[in-house]
Structure 1
Amino acid sequence: MSTSVINGYSKDYGAQVHAAYQRQGSKLRNVVRARSNVTGAIAVFQKVGKGAASTKARHGKVPVMNVDHQTVECQLYDYYAGDWLDKLDELKIEHDERAVLVNAGAYALGRKTDELIIAELDKSTNHALDATTGLTKEKVLAAFEMLGEADVPDDGERTAVVGWKQWSDLLQIPEFADSDYVGSDELPWKGTQAKHWLGTLWMPHSGLSKSGNVRRCFWFHKTAIGHAIGSEVKSEITYHGDRAAWFINNMMSQGAVLVDPAGIVSLRCLES
């Protein structure tokens, strides 16, 4: 077999990996502040404080706001997900092993992306109530008030990510799951795994941190977490004659950082 066949194979495989990564690999990538095409090992996110308006004397100088500017650095790390595919194995199996490796590699990198983001969310110390109950209506409203008091924008860029037990808790709240409150278009019973409620996109996630019987869920604004991308998901396939096998490698360079702690509220929920 001519080794040039790998060119078309690699291109097709890489496209499939990237599509799978975007489709099911990461749930949180698109709900945080992202910077693409970062050059170097560190990305810098800007954090700008609030300005204040005031009066001035007639013919006096306009008062200066002295808006605070800070920078937050995000370290990028390289991640790989590869596997072998014996040349003759392709003749012995009925399923499409390439498709299996496409999904396995993309999902592995997607889970890593979410792990990076969740690790930064875990740094939040803004707790809504305590951890002695599950996700109750009272706890949700307490978090809602905390976001409002912190002047977190209610601009459609808020996300709440909860565990599957907490998703079940939410289904017991009529204001979340009853069409009389949310309308038929936002019912969580239609098979979808995300819905809008209280101006926020709510979604379940299986990868949230758990300490003992306490699951850490979060309600945050998109700008509170920075996600830096030095290299999008890339794929390469090399043939190793000494192994009579293809090595199919997927890789990316990414990082995440907590930019604004005030934009995150942690909902610690008891799981029995």
Structure 2
Amino acid sequence: MSASVINAYSKQYGHEVHAAYQRMGTKLRNTVRVRNDVKGAIAVFQKVGKGSAATKARHGKVPVMNVDHGTVECQLYDYYAGDWLDKLDDLKIEHNERQVLTNAGAYALGRKTDELIIAELDKSTNYALDGSSGLTKAKVLEAFEKLGEADVPDDGERYAVVGWKQWSELMDIEEFSSSDYVGADDLPWKGTQAKKWLGTLWMPHSGLTKSGTTRYCYWYHKTAIGHACGAEVKTEITYQGDRAAWFINNFMSQGSALIDPVGIVSLRCLEP
């Protein structure tokens, strides 16, 4: 067998690892502000403040808004997920072990992507009520008010991520789960564990931080969190003769940063 056959393996499984990463690895990347193809170790996100309008005297000068401009830096880190496949073991098993390791690496990197985003969400101190109760209708409405008072855009790019316990609590809220309120097309009972409610896409997530009996859930706008990517998820397969084994290596370079704390409301929920 030609040694160059590994190039074909790398291309084939490289495509598959990226597809697996997008399909089942990360749930949150598409819900935040993303910068791709970053050159260097730090990505810079621009942050622009609000302008204000004013009148002017006849023939006077137009008032200047002096809109505040700032930047938020996002450090990129390199992550790897690799494993060995012994050449003779590959001959003894019926399933495609390379595919198994490819998917496992993609899912691991996808979870890492969500961990980076969740770590930045955890920095939010804009709380709706406290963590002494579960995810109640009152807590949801309190968060809804906070977003509105902060002029967070209601433009279809709001997201809410909750734990599975909180998802079950939402199912007990009639306005969330009854077709009388949301219509038949947006019912959460139809197989897809994500739904639109209050102009927001709600979804459950198993990786949210839990401290003691408190689960950290969030309602946020897409522009409040930044995710930077220097290298997309890729795979590389090499044969190591001294080990008589293939090494299947999946890797990426990514980071995340909190851009605008005002655009995030933290829903601290009791979860015994």
Class of the TM-score when normalised by the shorter of the 2 chains: over 0.9
1:93-242 alignment, distance < 5 Å: 93-242=93-242
Structure 1 portions without partners, runs of 5+: none
Q: Which AA in structure 1 matches 2:89?
A: D
**Per the alignment, in what secondary structure is the counterpart of residue 13 of structure 1?**
helix
CA distance in 1, matches of 2:116, 2:74: 11
TM-score (norm 2): 0.99
**Per the alignment, in what secondary structure is the counterpart of residue 265 of structure 2?**
strand
CA distance in 1, matches of 2:95, 2:270: 42
1:34-45 alignment, distance < 5 Å: 34-45=34-45
CA distance in 2, matches of 1:215, 1:82: 31
Q: Which AA in structure 2 matches 1:242?
A: D
**Per the alignment, in what secondary structure is the counterpart of residue 116 of structure 1?**
helix
Q: Which AA in structure 2 matches 1:85?
A: L
CA distance in 1, matches of 2:85, 2:11: 17
Q: Which AA in structure 1 matches 2:80?
A: Y
1:27-106 alignment, distance < 5 Å: 27-106=27-106
CA distance in 2, matches of 1:185, 1:24: 24
Structure 2 portions without partners, runs of 5+: none
CA distance in 1, matches of 2:230, 2:6: 26
**Percent of matched pairs sharing the same residue:** 81
**Per the alignment, in what secondary structure is the counterpart of residue 84 of structure 1?**
strand
CA distance in 2, matches of 1:61, 1:138: 48
Q: Which AA in structure 1 matches 2:32?
A: V
1:67-103 Cα deviation digits (max 9, x unpaired)? 0000000000000000001111111111111111111
**Per the alignment, in what secondary structure is the counterpart of residue 206 of structure 2?**
coil
1:129 Cα deviation after fit: 0.3
Q: Which AA in structure 1 matches 2:215?
A: R
Q: Which AA in structure 1 matches 2:249?
A: N
**Per the alignment, in what secondary structure is the counterpart of residue 21 of structure 1?**
helix
**Per the alignment, in what secondary structure is the counterpart of residue 37 of structure 2?**
coil
Aligned residues: 272
1:14-29 alignment, distance < 5 Å: 14-29=14-29
Q: Which AA in structure 1 matches 2:264?
A: I
CA distance in 2, matches of 1:44, 1:80: 24
CA distance in 1, matches of 2:236, 2:8: 11
**Per the alignment, in what secondary structure is the counterpart of residue 228 of structure 2?**
strand
1:4 Cα deviation after fit: 1.3
1:43 Cα deviation after fit: 0.3
1:8 Cα deviation after fit: 1.0
1:238 Cα deviation after fit: 0.7
1:252 Cα deviation after fit: 0.3
Root-mean-square deviation (CA, aligned residues, Å) is 0.5
CA distance in 2, matches of 1:95, 1:169: 40
TM-score (norm 1): 0.99
